[in-house]
Every structure is written in C-alpha cells, then in structure tokens.
Amino acid sequence: MTNRQEKWIRRIGPFIVLLIFLALWQYLASSNKINTFFFSSPVDVLMDFIDLFVTGRIWLHLWVTLIEAISGLMIGLGLGVAAAFLFGNFKILSLLFDPIFVAVYGLPKLALGPLFVIWFGLGLKSKIIMSTLLVFFLVFFNAYAGFRDVNIELVNTLKLMGASRLQIVMKVTLPSCVPWIIASLRSGTGAAVGGAIMGEYLGTNRGLGFLVQTAGANYDITRVMSVILVMCILMLILDTVGKLIEKSVLKWRPPVD
Amino acid sequence: MAIFSHLFLCIYLYMRHLKHIIHCYEAVDGSRLQVLNGVNLDIRKGEFAAIVGGSGCGKTTLLNIMSGILMPSQGEVLLDGQPIRQGKHRIGYISQTETLLPWRKVIDNIVLGPELEGIPKKERYERARQLMESGGLSGFENKYPFELSGGMRKRAIILRALAHDPEIIFMDEPFGPLDVFTREALQQEILRIWSQKKLTIVYITHDITEAVSLADRIIVMSRRPSTVQREVPVRLLRPRDVVEIRYEQEFMELEREIGAMIRGIDPEVRRSDE
C-alpha cells in the first residue's frame, strides 16, 4: 500500500464501512427481515434526531448533561491535581491513603449511586459528584505518576542555580506534569460525560441520560438510538476540543509521527 | 596560629577547599560501599582543573559533593571559606545529560538563573540576547530545545550557566554523547569563554586527551575507595588550539604519562589492554 492510498483509506474508509452497515440495516428493516419495533431503522433514527433539534426539545437535556459533565471535569481535575501534588510532597499522606485510593478506584462507581442520591438529592449535585468522582481518579493517578516522574536532573539544575522550593515546584514540577494532566483531561472528558449520564440513570427529570432512560422504559427504540447519536456527536466535539487544547499546550514536544 | 593561616589560604588563594571527604553509599543489601576515602583538594580561583580516573572511581560522586548536590558522609567543602550550601552560591553545573527545560523556548531557558534571582525581565532578556549573539545561537531564541541539534543544546546549556554569572562551573563529561567535531568545537568554545570571562572550571572526564588539552592541572583519582592519586600541572602555552596541540611533543608525553598512571591504578584496565 502506498502512502497516498493509505491516506485516502484513512480519510474515507471508515465512512464507507459505516455506510455499508447502515444500508444493510435499512434494507433489513424496510424488507421486514428484522422487527423495527426492537431494532428501529437508520432513516427513523435520523428523522427522530432531526426532530429533536427542530422542535428544540433536546436543548434543555443537552445543556443539563453538558453542565454536569463540565462541572465534574473541572472539579475532578482541580481536586485530582491538588491531591497528586500533596501526595507527591508529603510522604505521610501517600503512606496513609495510597491503599485506600486504590481500593476506591477499583470499586464500580455506579454502586455508590444510591448513596449519592440519598445524600445529595435528585438534582444536579448528585450527577456532578458522580462525574467528579470518575474524573478525579483518572486525573489523580496520572498526575501522581507525573509528579513522581519529574526529571531529578532538572530539579538539581535549578537547586544549584539557587532556586527555592516554591520556585522548583512552579518552574519544574508543575510544568513537567502538564503532559500527564492533559492526557488525563482527554480521557477524563469521556469519564465526565459517562459519570453525568450514569448519575442521570439513577433518577432525575432532565438530561440525556434521562431521555434514554424514559425512552427505554416506553420501548421507544428509535428515540433511544437518536439520543445515543446525540451523545456520540457530543463526545466527538468535546474530544476535538481536547485535541486542540493538547496541540496548543504541548507544542514544545517533538511531534510523535 | 594554624587555624589562622588556614583561613587566610581559603580566602585569598582558594575558591574551593575539600577537607578529607569520605563518602559511602548504602547498597541495596544494606552493606556500605565506600566510594571516596579522604579526598583533599584545593581549586584555585580562575583555574581550569580536570579530574580524571578510571570508571567507577567516584569522579561524579566527588563532583556532586563539591557542588553541594550530595552531602558527604564525612568532611566538608568550603567555597571562599564558607561551607557550601545549595542556594547560597551561584554554581554552574553542566552534565552530559540534557538539562534544558523542554517546555521553555531557548531564550526562556537562558534567562532562568537571573529569573530565579528576581532580576527585571527586560534586563535578563537583554543579557540573554547578548549571550546568544556571542555564543553563535542568535536566530534560535524562540525555538524549543527539541528543534535544536545536540551541540546547539549544549551551547544553550553553557550560555544558561554563564547568564547566571557563576562563581564556579562544574562540568561532568559535558560533551560525552556528542560527535567528535562538535566536541572539538565546543572544547575550543569553552576555552575561549573561560579565558575571556576568567571563570573557574572543574572538569570531569575519562578522556585524557581532552583533559590535557583543556586544563591547567590534572587531578588523577585512584581506584575505589578513591583518593587523589596525583596532581599533574599542565604547562602548555595558552591560548591553545584543542586540535593542533595534540601533535606537540610535550602534549603527547603528558598524555602518555597520565594514561600510564590510570592504567597502573586500575588493574581491570591494564588486564584488558594486555
């Protein structure tokens, strides 16, 4: 395969695969070979998707989920970096809490859902906390690895130049963690949206998770799928934003390719 | 009276004075590995001193102790009569690894020392620009380190040390990983800067040719636990051309003498030579 061929396949190949899949699905649905009550059809999903936006019904739910996810992402990011920093600087904290953190990290967070609903109610708060929790661990473990990975030679160089402890943190430790934090920010975006939707499944009256939940309860498969399509597009947009941030913040690194 | 004369020496003649440095490392199995055994060394102000020795003789340990990165198990290091302490002295340290901050542009790296001292922004960038001009790096101010060649990064590290106006510069096999021609160019450059700025340099290397062509004095370390085996003055004329000087009779004799000294000290080296 030449380079040029590869480039074209990379660019349009996935769309062709997707189109073939959709065409097959549509054919099976139209010719009644599958039951559209259970499997819907691409055209129905697309029509419902358009309908959601034309009638404007989606906006409230989209907005609510976005607010929850972004709040969770920001709070989780802040707490994760702060905790990693404290753990990295005060050994006693890491000795006391490392095993606890690992245990909680391994726990399926959904299991905590009922507690959050009881403690924080059915409003935004419980969703934001669920989302924060998911993001926190991702960021924490990444940033902690980053703090421990700081190049000791760079630290020594600055020490010899007479840098204070604070200067070393500001000029070496934190900047060298940035790639780790950015990496966790990108995977954290997925976790944040996931956490928000997970929280909505537990009970609420707005949000994308709520839409899927109610549609599912009513056997409205078309609606379930069109809202999932909205989620996919939302993730795609957030991921693109993340990529752009990564590119502009990490331009000091040699390109990987 | 003895104490008095000692102080006198420290202040007027000696930049750096090591007093019977002994250093041990704790090995993984809990046993202690003694690296240095009673090293006693004076570095004079404005001197270019080279420390040579076989591998594993504790050259780098000694340098780390002298620069204050490492505390010796026993003994003390004085700079201008004061015990060495991090943050108190302006020390340049150039090792064989890359120590530019990769997320800073070249010029932002060079201003680092003055920045830590709190020198105003305009002044420190002015100083950095002048240094880059004289060090052959102008035009690269706004590049990131990864965009430069290995030799240029080394130049930038040297300029960063100079921007800090150091009392003493320690170099630990600084040009080790570079190719021969880049090394020669940088050796010549370091000699030029040394004589121009009247610096004090302690240069560690296992390359005898390099040591003889650069230094005023060569300190030969014994094998572990090491002491100073011999101090050999190098009386070759300056300014030196690091390439041409190698073909002079006196140079070759000195090189052979020091080489024999190290081979005699290190039985492992001798064995592999036979």
Q: Are residues A56 and A165 in the same domain?
A: yes
Residue type, B86: Q
CA distance B127 to B121: 10
Which ipTM value was assigned to this complex?
A: 0.77
In this structure, the answer to whether residues A104 and A152 fall within a common structural domain is yes
**Looking at the domain assignment, is residue A255 inside a domain?**
no
Mean pLDDT, rounded, for A37-57: 90
Closest CA to B190 of B175, B205, B212: B175
HEC profile for chain B? CHHHHHHHHHHHCEEEEEEEEEEEEECCCCCEEEEEEEEEEEEECCCEEEEECCCCCCHHHHHHHHHCCCCCCEEEEEECCEECCCCCCCEEEECCCCCCCCCCCHHHHHCHHHHHHCCCHHHHHHHHHHHHHHCCCCCCCCCCHHHCCHHHHHHHHHHHHHHCCCCEEEEECCCCCCCHHHHHHHHHHHHHHHHHHCCCEEEECCCHHHHHHHCCEEEEECCCCECEEEEEECCCCCCCCCCHHHHCHHHHHHHHHHHHHHHHHCHHHHHHHC
Orientation of helix A124-148 relative to helix A113-120, angle to 10°? 120
Instruction: Check residue B15 and give its pLDDT.
Output: 52
Is B116 within 8 Å of A252 when comparing Cβ atoms?
no
Q: Is residue A210 part of a domain?
A: yes
Check pLDDT > 50 for residue B12: no
**Burial group, residue A195, by CB count within 10 angstroms (0-12, 13-18, 19+):** buried
- What is the pLDDT confidence band of residue B21, given thresholds at 50, 70 and 90? low
Bridge-partner residues for B24, per DSSP? B34
Residue B8 pLDDT class (50, 70, 90 cuts) = very low
In this predicted structure, the answer to whether residue B86 has a pLDDT above a threshold of 70 is: no
Which pLDDT score, from 0 to 100, does residue A34 have?
86
On chain A, the residues whose CB falls within 8 A of the CB of B66 are none
Confidence of residue B53 (pLDDT cuts 50, 70, 90): confident
Q: What is the pLDDT of residues B94-124, one digit of tens each?
A: 988 889 999 999 999 999 999 998 889 999 9
Say whether both A165 and A103 belong to one domain.
yes
Q: A241 to chain B nearest CA, in Å?
A: 22
Contacts of B89 (CB under 8 A, 6+ apart): A162, B68, B79, B82, B167, B168
A194 and A231 in a common domain: yes
Q: Are B45 and B214 in contact (CB under 8 A)?
A: no
Q: Is residue A145 part of a domain?
A: yes
Statement: residue B9 has pLDDT above 60: no
Residue A136 lies in a domain: yes
Q: Are residues A108 and A155 in the same domain?
A: yes
Q: Is residue A257 part of a domain?
A: no
In this complex, which of A160, A162, A252 lies closest to B103 when CB atoms are compared? A252
A254, closest residue in chain B (CA to CA): B146
pLDDT confidence of residue B126: 92
CA nearest B67 in A: which residue? A160
pLDDT at B137 over 60: yes
Q: What is the pLDDT of residue B100?
A: 93
Provide the residue range defining the domain that includes A1: 1-34
pLDDT at A81 over 70: yes
Q: What is the pLDDT of residue B6?
A: 35
A147 plus A108 within the same structural domain? yes
The conformational region for residue A32 under phi > 0 = left, psi -120 to 50 = alpha, else beta, is left
Task: Specify whether A58 is located in the same domain as A8.
Answer: no
User: Mean pLDDT, chain A, as a whole number?
Assistant: 89
* Secondary structure (3-state) at A240: helix
pLDDT of res. A129? 92
> What would the mean pLDDT of A226-248 be, rounded to a whole number?
91
Between B265 and A23, whose confidence is greater?
A23
Instruction: Identify the residue with better confidence: B122 or B42.
Output: B122
Give me the number of domains chain A comprises. Answer: 2
Query: What pLDDT shows up at residue A117?
Result: 87
Q: Which CATH class is domain B44-71+81-89+167-273?
A: alpha beta
Pick from A157, A174, A166, A163: which is nearest to B117 by CA? A163
Residue A97, sorted as left (phi over 0), alpha (psi -120 to 50) or beta, turns out to be alpha
**Based on the domain organization, do A20 and A46 belong to the same domain?**
no
Lowest-pLDDT range, A15-19, A205-209, A252-256, B9-13?
B9-13
Tell me how far CA of residue B71 lies from CA of A22, B36, B83, B169, B272, in angstroms: 70, 12, 11, 18, 35
- Out of A206-210, B28-32, B220-224, least confident range: B28-32
Is A137 among the domain residues?
A: yes
- Which pLDDT value is given to residue B24? 66
Q: From B118, which residue of chain A is nearest by alpha-carbon distance?
A: A163
Query: Does residue B133 sit at the A interface (CB-CB below 8 Å)?
Result: no
- Indicate whether A182 and A209 sit together in one domain: yes
Residue of B nearest to A255 (CA): B146
Q: Is B118 within 8 Å of chain A by CB?
A: no
Q: A29 with A50, same domain?
A: no
B228 half-sphere exposure, CB direction, 13 A CA radius: 17
For the stretch A127-164, pLDDT in tens is 999 999 999 999 998 888 888 888 888 998 888 888 88
Chain A contact present for B91, CB below 8 A: yes
Range from A32-36, A142-146, A147-151, B28-32 carrying the lowest mean pLDDT = B28-32
Q: Where are chain B's structural domains? A: 44-71+81-89+167-273
Same-domain pairing of A58 and A29:
no
Same domain, yes or no, for A6 and A125? no
